[in-house]
């Protein structure tokens, strides 16, 4: 009998390639658009602005820019093509069932007995946590795990599903995700600042030889002018996302926990989170320095 690799039989909605070593989700259009938004401004900046900065300011600036670009691109790809922490299925295929009846039914009691998976309770730091049963994956989800509807998987410490990176963000790829959004923010700031520097230096050179106008400066460096505006718009988006996740890390919570606390007022007390170290530095060290679980 011919053997079949496990990833070919995987029931989730993920796509595998390179012999099952890499995986992602199915929203390719969003990931391709995100790649274009990262690569296109960086390439234009490297072609039209960096040579001028290399000659008139300092060669170290284009080198630092190239390093940030490579770091941002690799962390983006790693986040998108890495197992986010999918929990194996069928760990509890036969859960203990609780029986209940419909009190308003006019029919016999025996006809309205149904079986539903019972909930398990665990204690963490003297607090009781309820483990919910996932009928799709047939497991009791660990604390902080969630079932992603887009990928159809239960993910350990799932933060959210990122459509732009075409993957869930969980325990195994949150660190490269955090590196990506931070380096992308720095790239936007880098391009904005040195595109403006390019324009100011062009204005200073023209001011010594002729009357300077907006059209003359724009004609001398049109790409830098456009890049400054485009990257300012991108900075508002990715920069806001970076600040939001920095606040989550410092408080020791995930996006799911924050949203649940905002919607469900009954459980809005985030201080009850047993994973919170009550210290922003320790919370950040726990999230960014924890070992990666096996895939």
Total-model pTM: 0.86
Give the max Cα distance, the chain. Answer: 99
DSSP codes joined into one string, 93-122 = SSPPEEEE--TT-SS-GGGG-EEEEPPEEE
State how far the Cα of 252 lies from the Cα of 250, in Å rounded to an integer.
6
State how far the Cα of 170 lies from the Cα of 142, in Å rounded to an integer.
13
* 161 phi and psi angles, rounded to 5 deg: -100, 120
Highest mean pLDDT of the ranges 18-22, 109-113, 271-275: 18-22
The contacts of residue 112 (CB under 8 Å, 6+ apart) are 101, 102, 105
Kindly list the catalytic residues: 162
| Mean pLDDT calculated for residue range 225-242 | 95
Encode pLDDT of 76-88 as tens digits: 999 999 999 999 8
- Banded model confidence at residue 125, pLDDT cuts 50, 70, 90: low
pLDDT above 90: residue 48? yes
pLDDT above 60: residue 105? no
pLDDT for 1 equals 64
Encode pLDDT of 245-274 as tens digits: 999 999 888 898 888 776 555 444 554 566
């Amino acid at each position: 009998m011919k053997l079949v690799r496990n990833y070919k039989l995987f029931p989730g909605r993920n796509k595998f390639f390179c012999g099952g070593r890499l995986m992602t989700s199915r929203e390719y259009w969003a990931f391709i658009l995100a790649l274009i938004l990262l690569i296109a401004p960086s390439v234009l900046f490297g072609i039209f602005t960096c040579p001028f900065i290399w000659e008139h300011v300092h060669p170290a600036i284009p080198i630092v820019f190239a390093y940030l670009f490579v770091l941002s691109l690799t962390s983006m790809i790693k986040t998108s093509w890495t197992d986010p922490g999918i929990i194996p299925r069928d760990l509890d295929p036969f859960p203990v069932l609780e029986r209940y009846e419909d009190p308003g039914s006019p029919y016999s009691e025996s006809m309205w007995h149904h079986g539903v998976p019972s909930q398990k309770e665990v204690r963490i730091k003297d607090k009781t946590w309820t483990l919910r049963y996932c009928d799709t994956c047939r497991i009791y989800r660990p604390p902080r795990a969630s079932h992603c509807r887009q990928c159809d998987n239960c993910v350990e410490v799932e933060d959210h599903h990122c459509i732009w990176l075409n993957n869930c963000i969980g325990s195994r790829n949150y660190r490269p995700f955090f590196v990506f959004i931070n380096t992308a923010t720095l790239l936007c700031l880098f391009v904005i600042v040195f595109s403006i520097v390019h324009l100011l230096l062009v204005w200073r050179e023209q001011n010594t030889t002729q009357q300077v106008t907006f059209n003359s400066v724009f004609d001398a460096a049109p790409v830098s002018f456009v890049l400054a505006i485009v990257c300012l718009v991108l900075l508002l988006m990715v920069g806001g996302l970076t600040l939001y996740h920095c606040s989550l890390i410092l408080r020791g919570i995930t996006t799911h926990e924050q949203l649940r606390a905002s919607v469900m007022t009954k459980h809005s007390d985030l201080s009850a989170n047993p994973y919170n170290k009550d210290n922003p530095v320790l919370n950040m060290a726990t999230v960014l320095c924890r070992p990666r679980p096996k895939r």
